[in-house]
Amino acid sequence: MAETPIVLLSSLFPHEGAPGTGLFIRERMFRVGRTMPLIVVSPRPWFPGQSLLRRFRPGYRLPAARHEIQDGVHVYFPLFFALPGLLRRFDGFFMALGAWRTLLRLKKQGFDFAVIDAHFAYPDGYAGTLLARWFGVPCTITLRGTEVPHSRNPVIRPLLVRALMRADRVFSVSESLRQLAIGLGMPAAKGRVVGNGVDIDKFSPIDRREARRACKLPDDVKVLISVGALVERKGFHRVIECLPSLIDRHPGLRYLVVGGGSPEGNMEDELRALVARLGLQSHVVFCGPMKPADLSTVLSAADVFVLATRNEGWANVFLEAMACGLPVIATDVGGNREVVGDPALGRIVPFGDAAALGRALDEALVQDWDRHGIVAHARANTWDERVKVLIAEFEALARVRAGTAPAKGLSGSGKA
């Protein structure tokens, strides 16, 4: 097909109030948008009076404008009713209801979308499959890691399964997530792994001395770095707890903590308290959140990248670190082993094994790594091949549905 207009549906997407949220989704789909017409609909959870909560939790559900244009792409932020922590079983339905009016308006304005592409199976994928029924188009879902805890939740699990069964195609960023979906009953033929990629125009190594001067770091010390949201899942505290024993072996060691709060929360105060309790103030540097364009410098200043995460789909930041020449130390969860699939790229350690994490970091700091080989591996995993697969899949789905019955209205939705 010459054109297959796509609606990207995801509640996690960057906006002016939260520019660092969901960048991995935008990176992927804006590249698809260079070939296919693309509009983003990013429903935002809302309930009356929720702004009052931001007095106590400043980063809670940061407000977004109803419409933005990002790199020439229209992005809409309709609201949907969602009480915090309550009635999660209805989030998917209310998200679909909140997005329906926007999609209907797009149709009337001439954007005759042929596919709805939802990211995360619940609530986004569930909402996407409902909207696909209402508008008579196919729906794809991309699994990104939240499906692991959701599959253990007795309330959300059946809704997650329903979304997987209703979807026309299920992409996953790792094979481990594809196997999870198959275990939940999804036909194996419906799933396809399409991992994340790396933008080598943004991420490439720069001279270490120059990078360290820019970061005000000594040339003669070992440097660890982690990048991510400052939330429990990412495991910054697990790395900090390993530092005292590492400092005995590497006295000048620095640990760079790059990141800030996210919709999951912000544990910076707890991390700073832990650093103070362990007497590590001269060894841990809180760099705050950074724009992707600025990360190459701080990554190039480090010796080893580490992320002791509890749950992960496919961490983009691993390839970004590799593109700057860093070996990666990560926990054996989600798709981490698939990204760090060779001992020449780093080490995978059991989650929760602090001794194994400490040993791996110690060994990584003294090993003579083939950094050119690490960079070459990252450059073999750019976005280009991933995007080609997605475009072919979207076009195939649109061809299958070409000539189907007129779009249904909301009244023909059936059960949620």
CA distance 208 to 197: 24
| Residues 214, 179 share a domain | no
Tokens coding 285: 């540097």
Task: Note whether 132 and 139 are within 8 A (CB).
Answer: yes
Residue 273 neighbours by CB under 8 Å, 6+ apart: none
CA distance 416 to 402: 25
Report the SS3 class of residue 232.
Answer: helix
Is residue 171 exposed (0-12), middle (13-18) or buried (19+ Cβ within 10 Å)?
Answer: buried
| Residues 225, 176 share a domain | no
Dihedrals phi, psi of 143, to nearest 5 degrees:
-85, 130
Does residue 1 belong to any structural domain of this protein? no
What's residue 406's pLDDT? Answer: 38
Q: Which of 116, 127, 41, 130 is nearest to 92 (CA)?
A: 127
Give tens-digit pLDDT for 129-142.
Answer: 999 999 999 999 99
What's residue 56's pLDDT? Answer: 67
Give tens-digit pLDDT for 168-195.
Answer: 999 999 999 999 999 999 999 999 999 8
What CATH number does the domain containing 186 carry? 3.40.50.2000
Task: Report how far apart, in Å, the C-alpha atoms of 28 and of each of 204, 364, 378 are.
Answer: 19, 31, 16
Amino acid at 257: V
The reported pTM is 0.82
Does residue 202 belong to any structural domain of this protein? no
Indicate the pLDDT class of residue 414, thresholds 50, 70 and 90.
very low
Question: Residue 125 pLDDT more than 80?
Answer: yes
| Residues 264, 156 share a domain | no
Does residue 203 belong to any structural domain of this protein? no
- Does the CA dihedral 240-241-245-246 come out positive or negative? negative
What's residue 57's pLDDT? Answer: 65
Does residue 270 belong to any structural domain of this protein? yes
Indicate the pLDDT class of residue 385, thresholds 50, 70 and 90.
confident
- Does the CA dihedral 7-12-18-22 come out positive or negative? negative
Dihedrals phi, psi of 255, to nearest 5 degrees:
-125, 115
Dihedrals phi, psi of 319, to nearest 5 degrees:
-65, -35
Buried b / exposed e along 305-338 (16+ C-beta atoms within 10 A): bbbbbbbbbbbbbbbbbbbbbbbbbbbebbbbeb
Give tens-digit pLDDT for 359-384.
Answer: 999 999 999 999 999 999 999 888 88
CA distance 2 to 37: 11
| Residues 396, 286 share a domain | no
Mean pLDDT rounded to a whole number for the chain: 91
Average pLDDT over residues 195-204: 90
H/E stretch holding 364? helix 354-366
According to DSSP, the β-strands at 38-41 and 73-76 are parallel
H/E stretch holding 386? helix 383-401
Task: Note whether 61 and 44 are within 8 A (CB).
Answer: yes
Task: Note whether 260 and 62 are within 8 A (CB).
Answer: no
| Residues 363, 214 share a domain | yes
Tokens coding 389: 């697969």
CA distance 393 to 29: 13
Task: Report how far apart, in Å, the C-alpha atoms of 54 and of each of 5, 57, 60, 141, 272 are.
Answer: 37, 5, 6, 31, 22
CA distance 282 to 289: 20
Percent of the chain with pLDDT over 70: 93
| Residues 162, 294 share a domain | no
Question: Residue 339 pLDDT more than 60?
Answer: yes
| Residues 180, 86 share a domain | yes
The torsion defined by the Cα of 87, 143, 317 and 243, in degrees rounded to 10, comes to 60
Indicate the pLDDT class of residue 413, thresholds 50, 70 and 90.
very low
Give tens-digit pLDDT for 206-254.
Answer: 999 999 999 999 999 999 999 999 999 999 999 999 999 999 999 999 9
Give tens-digit pLDDT for 242-265.
Answer: 999 999 999 999 999 999 988 778
Centre a 10 Å sphere on the Cβ of residue 416 and count the other Cβ atoms it contains: 16
Task: Note whether 295 and 320 are within 8 A (CB).
Answer: yes
Task: Report how far apart, in Å, the C-alpha atoms of 184 and of each of 30, 147, 165 are.
Answer: 30, 11, 9
| Residues 388, 362 share a domain | no
Does residue 44 belong to any structural domain of this protein? yes
What length is written for the chain?
416
Indicate the pLDDT class of residue 53, thresholds 50, 70 and 90.
low
What's residue 164's pLDDT? Answer: 98
| Residues 269, 121 share a domain | no
Centre a 10 Å sphere on the Cβ of residue 55 and count the other Cβ atoms it contains: 8
| Residues 399, 374 share a domain | no
Does residue 88 belong to any structural domain of this protein? yes
Task: Report how far apart, in Å, the C-alpha atoms of 231 and of each of 175, 263, 264, 268 are.
Answer: 25, 9, 7, 8
| Residues 390, 325 share a domain | no
Indicate the pLDDT class of residue 405, thresholds 50, 70 and 90.
very low
| Residues 143, 287 share a domain | no
Domain carrying residue 120: 6-197+383-412
- Strand 38-41's sheet: what is its strand order? 67-70, 73-76, 38-41, 6-9, 115-119, 139-143, 169-172, 191-193
If one counts the domains in the chain, the total is 2
